[in-house]
Amino acid sequence: MNVLTCLIIGALASGRALAGTSAEVAPAQVHAATGLTLELVADADAVVPGRPLAVGLVLRPAAGFHTYWRQPGLVGLTPSVEWSWPAGISAGEMLWPEPQRGMMAAYGVWCLKRDVCLVTPVTVPTTLDPATVPSVTLKAKVTWMACSRTCHPGTAELTLTLPVQEAASQVAPASGATALIKQTIQEQAIVDDAWKFSAVQHGPTGGFSVTITPPPGRTVPADAYLYTHQRLVDSNVDPVRHDLPSGEVRLDLALVEQPDITPSTLAGELWSASGWGGLGTSRLLQVRAPLVVAPTAVPPG
Give the pLDDT confidence of 212-233 residue by residue, as tens digits.
Answer: 999 999 999 999 999 999 988 8
Work out the angle at residue 27's Cα, subtended by the Cα atoms of residues 157 and 3, and round it to the nearest 5 degrees.
25
| Separation between Cα atoms, residue 9 and residue 124, nearest integer Å | 44
Quick: pLDDT tens for 239-276: 999 999 999 999 999 988 777 677 889 999 999 999 98
Mean pLDDT of 167-189: 80
Residues 81 and 33: their CA atoms lie apart, in Å, by 19
Q: Where are the alpha helices (DSSP H) in 99-154?
A: none
Q: Determine the Cα–Cα distance for residues 301 and 28; give it in Å rounded to an integer.
A: 56
Average pLDDT of the chain, as a whole number: 85
How many whole angstroms from its chain centre is CA 76? 13
User: Minimum mean pLDDT among 59-68, 71-80, 165-174: which range?
Assistant: 165-174
Average pLDDT over residues 87-106: 93
Q: Which of 2, 152, 151, 156 is nearest to 72 (CA)?
A: 2
What is the predicted pLDDT for the residue at 41?
A: 93
Domains in the chain, CATH or no CATH each = 2-164+172-186 (2.60.40.10), 196-294 (2.60.40)
What whole-number distance in Å separates Cα of residue 106 and Cα of residue 98?
23
In a 3-state reduction of DSSP, which class is residue 90? Answer: strand
Examine the pLDDT at 150 and tell me if it is beyond 80. yes
Is it the case that residue 16 has pLDDT exceeding 60? Answer: no
Of residues 16 and 153, the one with the higher pLDDT is: 153
> Comparing 24-33, 121-130, 131-140, which segment has the lowest mean pLDDT?
24-33
Q: Which is nearest to 230 in space by CA: 203, 204, 264, 275?
A: 264
Q: Which residues contact 223 (CB under 8 A, 6 or more apart)?
A: 271, 272, 273, 274
Which ranges in the chain belong to alpha helices (H)?
2-14, 176-186
Distance CA 37, CA 23 (A): 9
Q: What is the DSSP letter of 299?
A: -
